[in-house]
């Protein structure tokens, strides 16, 4: 076990092998970017009125070159829906990737700790009980209530966990308790709801992109822009956390702080997404798994790859929601799993042994 | 330059309300040697090691030269002390090199740029003789290889104090000897303090320069291996009748004859005298 000089041939060979691995991952992330863009354009081009892809591109690049109805379809319907699909997919996937790392659990998703149940309860209060906040524009009441409850549930979770210590098990146990509590409260509200309100609530909980508007897109984009740099800045620490909590602490990482800040980001991303489009499961669970199979768990690559994968799956799910039943727009929350599962299974079976 | 010294005075530590070690003091542990913590299950070895690593809330004093470690932040602590846990992570999609790199890049006192970290990480792997595993995934490794990869994550940060919790538990006999020899050489060459929890008394006898025997959260014996490991200690702490002899190669050999009842009285009357 003698010490070799830094310039030994073995050293150089391993360095160039690592450089190749890094290049391969960058290429894969580039390919995911292309896939996401293609899926988004395909999503914009898909709909009841037949708009060829060339018209879509023209409409986006030179809006004045198209006739008014096509312009309205592209700018007021297709583009917001498609962008919302992309942003929600990226937000939920980033939230899921961070959640799986901080909880050290491959089955974790943004909704594991009750964020979605709390949002549903908020939506139920707004829809069924007719609660509203003053000065809120029409159309914002429900998302704001959903957001307040979702974000509040995470703060409550943090508070409960800090009373008892911040171990992963404590967080998950309190999270599960919150899921059951909010589900029971939603059931209670449903029990007293009118037929019409109940129908609206059920539809809301299925998740739909049809609620997208440019203002909501702006808010979600801002949340993503505000959280992603912090996620990426924490990427080495998150990678180290994969080696175990004791290990990470011995590297000098304040795991409690890392976990708290990550959970805040997750709750912001998940609560905003759920508030605007309802519950969309599966993306936050499976997109990180696909990204992990593709680029491993160095979070510098894993987090962006998760976001791009989530965005691509969500866009493809949006296309499927428009085409599976001709003439009908299915709630996208129903089809995300239908699109994601085959993709996931193919990847698992074709997984190469090396990373 | 004088070797570093670790002083433990009046240390109490535990989990929640359960106190595992209380009011424990040790003469200074000096750099350049390997101190083995041995003792039966639940003696408090790992708790003592984890409290030295700053992972268990502890009261009392742990001083590294003039620095009081218990008052340092997590980052300040990690700049001086490296800890290798016994449990190894499962299902982690990282290569050996990436895991070693993350030890440097995530640490506040670690490398400032990736290129420097890559060189340091590769040197650590080469030092352990596992540079051929650099690009292998942690999940593809055998238990022994993973333990070596874990040791690389600890030594790469070039700590003053290296704490190892049963680093040879998953290794075959060849790798056990390699790791222990490596740890001993590292302590001697760099003059660092190595504290290592071991279950194997023979390994402690052979590779440690000092052995601290723990029993029920207190120190039962402390000193060079031939002074700390005696038939009387083995009967009292481990409840076994055993002989301790020095072989023709000069190594201490522990020959266990049988387990004793809780009182251990019979052992003292029938155990052969120590050499």
Residues A139 and A143: their CA atoms lie apart, in Å, by: 8
A303 part of a folded domain: yes
Answer yes or no: is pLDDT of B275 > 70: no
Give the pLDDT confidence score for residue B144 in this predicted structure.
Answer: 83
CB-based contacts of B95, cutoff 8 Å, min separation 6: A18, A21, A296, A355, B134, B135, B136, B137, B138
Q: What pLDDT sits at residue B16?
A: 78
What is the pLDDT averaged over residues B9-25? 89
Show residues of chain A in contact with B119, CB under 8 Å.
6, 11, 15
Residue A60 forms beta bridges with which residues? none
Closest C-alpha among B98, B99, B135, B126 to residue A11? B126
Count of domains forming chain A: 1
**Residue B70: closest CA among B86, B55, B54:** B54
Q: Is B74 on the interface with A (CB under 8 A)?
A: yes
Kindly state whether residue A12 falls inside one of the protein's structural domains.
no
Alpha helices in A52-166 (DSSP H): 53-61, 68-72, 79-102, 115-127, 141-164
pLDDT in tens, B191-240: 999 999 999 999 999 999 999 999 999 999 999 999 999 999 999 999 99
Which domains are present in chain B?
1-80+159-225 (3.40.50.300), 91-157 (no CATH), 230-275 (no CATH)
Instruction: Please provide the average confidence, as pLDDT, over all residues in chain B.
Output: 89
Residue A258: give its domain's CATH number. 1.10.3470.10
> Which pTM was predicted?
0.89
Q: What residues pair up with B212 in beta bridges, in sequence order?
A: B37, B222
In a domain, A2, yes or no: no
Phi-psi category of B128—alpha, beta or left, where left has phi over 0 and alpha has psi -120 to 50?
Answer: alpha
Q: Which tokens is B210 given?
A: 């000092």
What pLDDT is recorded for position B188?
95
3-state secondary structure A213-237: CHHHHHHHHHHHHHHHHHHHHCHHH
Nearest by CB: A252 against B75, B135, B150: B75
Q: Which residues of A touch B88 (CB under 8 A)?
A: 244
Kindly identify which residue of chain B lies nearest to residue A239, measuring between CA atoms: B102
Residue B161, helix vs strand vs coil: strand
Q: Please report whether residue A96 resides in a domain.
A: yes
Q: What percent of chain B has pLDDT over 70?
A: 94
Would you state the pLDDT for residue A201? 84
- Residue A72 belongs to what domain range? 21-349
pLDDT at B68 over 90: yes
Q: Please provide residue A128's backbone torsions phi and psi, each rounded to the nearest 5 degrees.
A: -90, -45
Query: Mean pLDDT, 10 residues at a time, over chain A (355 residues)?
Result: 53 87 96 97 86 83 83 88 95 95 86 84 86 78 87 82 72 88 92 88 83 90 96 96 92 90 89 87 90 95 97 94 85 82 75 47
| Alpha helices per DSSP H over chain B | 45-52, 74-78, 96-105, 114-127, 143-155, 173-190, 201-207, 225-228, 231-233, 265-270
Residues, chain B? 275
Could B54 and A249 be called an inter-chain contact, meaning their C-beta atoms sit closer than 8 Å?
yes
The string over B178-205, giving b where at least 16 C-beta atoms fall within 10 Å of a residue's C-beta and e elsewhere, is bbbebbbebbeebbbbbbbbbebbebbb
Q: Which residue has the tokens 């750099």?
A: B31
- Residues contacting residue B269 through CB under 8 Å, at least 6 positions apart: none
C-alpha torsion angle, residues B116, B122, B124, B130 (rounded to 10): 170
| Domain assignment of residue A5, yes or no | no
CB atoms within 10 A of CB B75: 14
**A351 and chain B: CB distance < 8 Å anywhere?**
no
The verdict on residue A9 lying in a domain is: no
Interface test with A, best of B78, B126, B162, B190 (most A CBs within 10 A): B126
Reading phi first (left if > 0) and then psi (alpha if -120 to 50, else beta), residue B3 is in: beta
Tell me the pLDDT tens digit for each residue of B111-143.
Answer: 678 888 999 999 999 988 899 999 999 999 988
């Amino acid at each position: 076990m003698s010490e070799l000089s830094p310039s030994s041939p073995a050293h150089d060979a391993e360095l160039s092998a690592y450089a190749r691995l890094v290049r391969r991952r960058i290429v894969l992330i580039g390919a995911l970017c292309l896939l996401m863009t293609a899926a988004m354009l395909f999503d914009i081009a898909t709909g009841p009125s037949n708009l060829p892809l060339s018209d879509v591109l023209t409409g986006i690049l030179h809006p004045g070159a198209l006739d008014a109805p096509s312009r309205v379809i592209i700018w007021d319907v297709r583009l917001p829906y498609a962008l919302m699909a992309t942003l929600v997919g990226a937000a939920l996937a980033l939230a899921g990737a961070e959640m799986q790392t901080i909880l050290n659990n491959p089955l974790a998703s943004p909704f594991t700790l009750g964020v979605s149940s709390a949002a549903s309860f908020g939506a139920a209060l707004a829809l069924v009980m007719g609660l509203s906040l003053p000065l809120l524009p029409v159309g914002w009441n429900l998302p704001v209530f959903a957001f307040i409850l979702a974000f509040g549930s995470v703060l409550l979770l943090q508070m409960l966990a800090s009373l008892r210590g911040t171990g992963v098990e404590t967080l998950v146990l309190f999270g599960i308790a919150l899921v059951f509590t909010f589900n029971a409260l939603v059931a209670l509200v449903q029990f007293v709801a009118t037929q019409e309100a109940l129908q609206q609530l059920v539809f809301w909980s299925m998740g739909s992109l049809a609620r997208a508007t440019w203002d909501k897109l702006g808010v979600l984009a801002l949340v993503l822009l505000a959280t992603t740099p912090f996620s990426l800045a924490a990427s080495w620490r998150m990678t180290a956390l994969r080696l175990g909590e004791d290990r990470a602490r011995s590297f000098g990482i304040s795991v409690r702080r890392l976990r708290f800040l990550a959970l805040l980001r997750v709750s912001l991303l998940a609560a905003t997404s759920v508030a605007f489009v309802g519950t969309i499961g599966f993306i936050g669970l499976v997109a990180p798994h696909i990204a992990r199979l593709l680029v491993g768990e160095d979070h510098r690559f894993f987090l962006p790859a998760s976001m791009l994968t989530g965005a691509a799956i969500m866009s493809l799910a949006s296309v499927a929601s428009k085409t599976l039943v001709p003439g009908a727009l299915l709630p996208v929350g129903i089809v995300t799993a239908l699109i994601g599962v085959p993709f996931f299974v193919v990847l698992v079976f074709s997984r190469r042994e090396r990373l | 330059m004088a070797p570093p010294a670790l002083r433990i005075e009046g240390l109490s530590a535990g989990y929640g309300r359960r106190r595992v070690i209380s009011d424990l003091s040790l003469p200074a542990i000096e750099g350049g040697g390997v101190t083995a913590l041995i003792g039966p299950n639940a003696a408090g070895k790992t708790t003592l090691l984890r409290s030295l690593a700053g992972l268990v809330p502890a009261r009392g004093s742990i001083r590294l030269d003039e620095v009081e470690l218990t008052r340092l932040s997590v980052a300040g602590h990690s700049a001086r002390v490296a800890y290798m846990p016994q449990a190894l992570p499962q299902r982690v999609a990282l290569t050996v090199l990436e895991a070693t790199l993350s030890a440097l890049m995530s640490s506040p006192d670690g490398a400032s740029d990736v290129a420097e970290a890559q060189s340091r990480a590769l040197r650590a792997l080469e030092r352990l003789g596992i540079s051929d595993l650099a690009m292998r995934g942690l999940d593809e490794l055998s238990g022994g290889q993973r333990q070596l990869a874990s040791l690389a994550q600890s030594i790469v940060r070039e700590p003053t104090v290296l704490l190892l919790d049963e680093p040879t538990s998953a290794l075959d006999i060849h790798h056990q000897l390699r790791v222990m020899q490596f740890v001993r050489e590292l302590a001697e060459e760099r003059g660092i303090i190595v504290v290592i929890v071991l279950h194997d008394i023979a390994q402690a006898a052979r590779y440690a320069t000092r052995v601290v025997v723990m029993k029920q959260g207190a120190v039962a014996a402390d000193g060079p291996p031939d002074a700390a490991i005696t038939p009387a200690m083995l009967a009292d702490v481990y409840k076994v009748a055993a002989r301790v002899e020095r072989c023709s190669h000069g190594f201490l050999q522990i020959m266990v004859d049988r387990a004793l009842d809780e009182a251990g009285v019979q052992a003292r009357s029938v155990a052969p005298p120590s050499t």
